[in-house]
Structure 1
Amino acid sequence: IKKVVQAVKEKVGEDFKEVFVGIAGDHIRTMKSSEYLNLGESRLITKEDIALLEENIRKIRLPNDGDKILEVIPQDYKVDENTGIKDPVGMLGEMVEGNFHIVTGRVQSINTINKCVKNAGLEIKRLILEPLASAYATLTEEEKEGGVLMIDIGGGTSDIVVYKNFKIMDTAIIPFGGVSVTKDLEKILKILNRQAEEIKTKYASCLPSMEKTDVIKVQGIEGRKEKVFSLKEIAFIINARIIEIFKFINIELKEANIDLEEIGIGIVLTGGGAQLKYIDRLLESFFGKEVRIGYPKVKGADIVNKPQYATAVGLIMAGSSYLDENIQETENEGKTENEEKKEPGFLAKIAGLITEAVVGSKEDMKIN
């Protein structure tokens, strides 16, 4: 972490002490809950009322004592008898009720992240759920309205977010990803991990039926005979793991009582795993929904507009949005007009510089 931080500081030319950090892992859980506030009399609902609702919801008892609330995400509100309200501030009513999507994580895991960041000389400004960051970077407002399932296949996990009518219907983290594919190849083909990673990066395919009978050769270790594998054989191994990930996602959707018909727009696939050949076709066949590959939406920063950078770019965008909201709350005047016009370019510059600092060059990162 220290090396990356130093590289970023040198590239950006600025010092910083606080960071936005992504969090994921199979310890992440989600739940839904509601909270109401009796105003005592009919009056205008204020921002302070909504803040009190969210403060109260954070006090609820969690199913697992070792968990901590990470995110409280408003779904919609009810004012007296009026339901499905997106923003009740300024409305007249005697009672306001909010429905919330709550994300929790293990305290032990959160503390470990805190310690690592502190050891690097930094403080965490805010923990952000990684699938929400990826969604921030790749989804459009139309998709969030019409119903969309975002799948981010990363290294250690596959993350999902479901939106409908601008509401988060579900978030989940599946404990399998690109690393699982590499380990499968390593174990089944009986090769080294680096050899398995190279095969995945160069020859990975999710559809055996689309592969020819071509073969590849892998050098033997310490004078042993080289090994020969067909591309079909490799595709069968990868296909099995990817389908397993899709099955886990389907189970999660059923447990969250989400009907595929609610996902009206379709599926957005992002993350390093989105680079696997024919994975979009396999995904369409499995769920029966149209699939597009999700690219981060940063103008003027082609280096980061790739699926494998969705989470990182989303963290930058979410962090920028969070800071802007706080600036607007504390300073009515905020930035000058000229400064506002520079923001998109500045964000693109920062995203590009950070990526170059982390990757070390402008070459594509391997699937991981």
Structure 2
Amino acid sequence: MKDNPIIVGLDIGTTKITTVIGEVGDDGSVDIIGEGTVPSEGMKRGAVVNLERATGAIRQSVQAAERVSGVRVASVFVSVAGNHVKAITSHGLAAIRRHQEISQADVDRAIENARAVPLDPNLEIIHTLPQEYVVDGQEGIKSAVGMHGVRLEVDVHIVAGTAGPLLNLRRCVQEAGLKVEGFVLQALASGLATLEAAEQSQTVVVIDMGGGTTDVGVFKRGNLAHSACIPIGGDHVTADLAQILKLPHEEAENVKRRYGAAVPELADPDLTLEITTANGSTHAISAFELSRIIKPRLTEIFGMVRDEIDQALGPVELVAQGVVLTGGASSLRGIPELARDRFRLPVRVGRPRGIGGLTDIVSGPAHAGGVGLVLYGIGQDGKVPVSVFRPEEPATPPPAPQPQPAAKASSEAKKEAGAVTVATPAPSQPAPKKDKESGNLLTKVRGFFKDWM
């Protein structure tokens, strides 16, 4: 094996834990040589709630990646998300002596002055991310070193987390036999993995839709300028389905992924599901009605994201030029269309790019955070490495799963855990209509959903 630098990202989420191992080539290119994903344990909305179970899940994820790569992992970059993370933008100033060039020491002094803001003593700074510099009133300067001027200014985006949750997360990683190389904000990692070259000159909103949280990052000309965490994610959509359809959580998740859509009009009009609950009762629901349950929660998430940006930066349509959706929950059919209607901006689903190696495994939006942690580890400056913009063939996204008729379960199994059976109308019969007044099988269950919707 080549003796190239190895960087490991550990993406710890509410629903899954993913380890991504990257090897950095001599030209700065990154090959993914190992990946391990396991169900998350002991985590809730970005925070540790059970140290032992979280440690065990972390260990399993890392071991799975080690088996694929043949590399022994010693240290990792760890993702951080949740309501305990706070972010502010602070202004720093440094005076420069006349007839002298601006040095790196002067830049560091300006950044340090920006850091000197009163913070809660219980907060630990995770990132200090400089934005563009201003020299004697001239804005838009990417690097001020070597320039002449007497007044150097900089805006710095400071990200901090509450000490307790960070200590718990660090302890889990250490007890798994690993060293924490650094904590990385989830929204920053996702942006590093998904932003395209053209978007580096724009203002783009990156929305990482995870299971327990939705992380938001506003990138201005390639720099993270604003960040926030919304305490609702894809798992809440699953919980809604489980509650309303009276299904086990795992079955509701399967129904959501295979048959759900964020926009009812995009659901399969010919698909009807027969839901058998744990107590043995049965009712029918069309894919259209299923999506009507899903849409309100996703609309709520996008509404909260929009409110956050509108209050902090101004109307999102005037602030940004586009929206990038990523994270596991962004794979649901109709998500881009719903977001486009809510934000009134161009929307696309962001997938990791600029990498080699196991691209077929890590090419989906669910791996954006893990790949972004590896990219962050290259420079540790919060900026996308230039090497990832090398010319390459566009990755072909994995095909979307097609609805398949579920196998008919025995009546005993249905009564024990609940079941879903797919029924499609015969060719000679009309497809179930979406009109509320239609007399199809859904009339029996409309009253069940009326109050909720």
Instruction: Quickly name the TM-score band, shorter chain normalised.
Output: 0.7 to 0.9
* Greater share of helix: 1
Contact 1:145–1:163 under 8 Å retained in 2: no
Q: Which residue of 1 aligns with 2:94?
A: 37
Q: TM-score, normalised by structure 1?
A: 0.82
Taking a change above 3 Å as real, the CA distance of residues 285 and 364 of structure 1, as seen in their structure-2 partners, is closer
Q: Is the 8 A contact 1:150 1:268 kept in 2?
A: yes
Deviations 1:262-303 (A, max 9, x none): 455321111112211111111111211121111110245122
| C-alpha spacing 1:57/1:208, structure 2 compared with 1 (3 Å) | same
* TM-score using structure 2 length: 0.67
Question: Which segments of 5 or more consecutive residues in structure 1 lack a partner in the other structure?
Answer: 326-340, 345-361
The answer to whether residue 159 in structure 2 is matched with residue 87 in structure 1 is no
Helix, strand or coil: the match of 1:256?
A: helix
Q: Secondary structure at the match of 1:179?
A: helix
Aligned residue pairs total: 328
Structure 2 counterpart of 1:19 = 76
SS at match of 2:117: coil
- Indicate the larger mover: 239-248 or 120-129: 120-129
Letter in 2 for 1:309: H
Equivalent residue for 2:264, pick from 208, 217, 220: 208
* Alignment-derived partner of residue 302 in structure 2: 246
Q: Distance in 2 between matches of 1:167 and 1:310?
A: 17
1:170 to 214, 226, 238: 226
Match of 2:278 in 1: 221
In the alignment, which residue of structure 1 is the partner of 2:201?
Answer: 145
The reply on whether 1:6 has 2:63 as its aligned counterpart is yes
Determine the C-alpha separation between the residues in 2 that align with 1:263 and 1:217.
46
Aligned to 1:279: 335
Correspondence 1:75 to 2:131 = yes
Contact 2:114 2:155 in 1 (8 A): no
- The residue that corresponds to 1:51 in the other structure is 108
Gaps of 5+ in 2: 1-57, 391-397, 402-453
| Counterpart Cα distance in 1 of 2:190 and 2:223 | 16
In structure 2, the CA distance between the partners of 1:166 and 1:210, relative to structure 1 (3 Å rule), is: closer
Question: Is 2:371 the counterpart of 1:313?
Answer: yes
AA partner of residue 77 (structure 1)? Y
Distance 1:159 1:248 in 2: 11
Kindly indicate whether residue 230 of structure 2 is the aligned counterpart of residue 154 of structure 1: no
Moved over 6 A (4+): 362-365
Q: Which amino acid aligns with 1:294?
A: G
Query: Which residue identity does 1:315 align to in structure 2?
Result: L
Equivalent residue for 1:234, pick from 290, 297, 312:
290
* CA deviation profile, 1:307-326 (whole Å, cap 9, x unmatched): 11111111111113339x9x
Aligned counterpart, 1:333: none
In 2 relative to 1, CA 283–364 (structure 1 residues): closer, same or farther, beyond 3 Å? Answer: closer
- Partner Cα distance (2:277, 2:141) in 1: 64
- Alignment partner, residue 331 of structure 1: none
CA contact 2:237–2:294 (8 Å) conserved in 1: yes
Identity %: 34
RMSD value over aligned CA atoms? 2.5
3-state secondary structure, aligned to 2:96: strand
For residues 81-128 of structure 1, the C-alpha deviation after alignment (integer angstroms, 9 at most, x for no partner) is 333322101112233221111112111111111111111111111111
Partner Cα distance (2:340, 2:399) in 1: 29
8 Å Cα contact 2:203-2:321 kept in structure 1:
yes
Give the superposition deviation at 1:215: 1.8
Tell me how far apart the structure 1 counterparts of residues 399 and 347 of structure 2 sit (CA, whole Å): 26
Contact 2:246–2:277 (CA under 8 A) maintained in structure 1: no
Deviations 1:181-230 (A, max 9, x none): 111111122211111111111111111233326321234436x2334322
- Verify the 8 A CA contact 2:306 2:316 in the aligned structure 1: no
Q: Which amino acid aligns with 1:44?
A: E
Q: Shift in Å at residue 364 of structure 1?
A: 9.7
Q: Does 1:97 align with 2:148?
A: no
Q: CA shift at 1:66, angstroms?
A: 2.2
Contact 1:182 / 1:193 at 8 angstroms: preserved in 2?
yes
3-state SS of paired residue (1:234): helix
For residue 314 of structure 2, what is the amino acid of its counterpart? I
- Secondary structure of 2:100's match? strand
